[in-house]
Amino acid sequence: MRPGAQPNMQQLLKQAQKMQQQMAVAQEELAAAEVTGAAGGGLVTATVSGAGELKSIAIDPKVVDPDDVETLADLVVAAVRAAGDEAKQLADQKMAPLTGGLGGLGLGM
């Protein structure tokens, strides 16, 4: 665009609509995706959706010790955190191409 020229509002609206559609598709893909985090060498695993919703937890019976419930709880927390980190990385990868060009527009994305 030339310096001092007005932006084409119709073109900007079309671009915004296209980006909104792409964001909706990416969010649907994230909701359908699943990632897994593990702790204790895989003795505890947590699966979350790409949107960060906890889907399941699997606990190997070898780690279940009635006299040491705290360790099991710590492993569950660690697995859920690891899965959450994986989900965040997936979301960042999916959304980066869509939000990368926004610069400082302050659209809260």
- Helix (H) or strand (E) segment spanning residue 9: helix 9-32
Whether 91 is covered by a domain: the verdict is yes
Is 0.85 topped by the overall pTM?
no
Whether 55 is covered by a domain: the verdict is yes
Whether 2 is covered by a domain: the verdict is no
For the segment 46-95, what is each residue's pLDDT rounded down to a tens digit? 999 988 889 999 999 999 999 999 999 999 999 999 999 999 999 888 88
Whether 15 is covered by a domain: the verdict is no
Domain tally for the chain?
Answer: 1
Whether 73 is covered by a domain: the verdict is yes
Banded model confidence at residue 101, pLDDT cuts 50, 70, 90: low
Whether 13 is covered by a domain: the verdict is no
The CATH code of the domain that includes 79 is 3.30.1310.10
Structural domain of 85: 35-98
**Residue 57 class from Cβ within 10 Å (0-12 exposed, 13-18 middle, 19+ buried)?**
middle
Banded model confidence at residue 1, pLDDT cuts 50, 70, 90: low
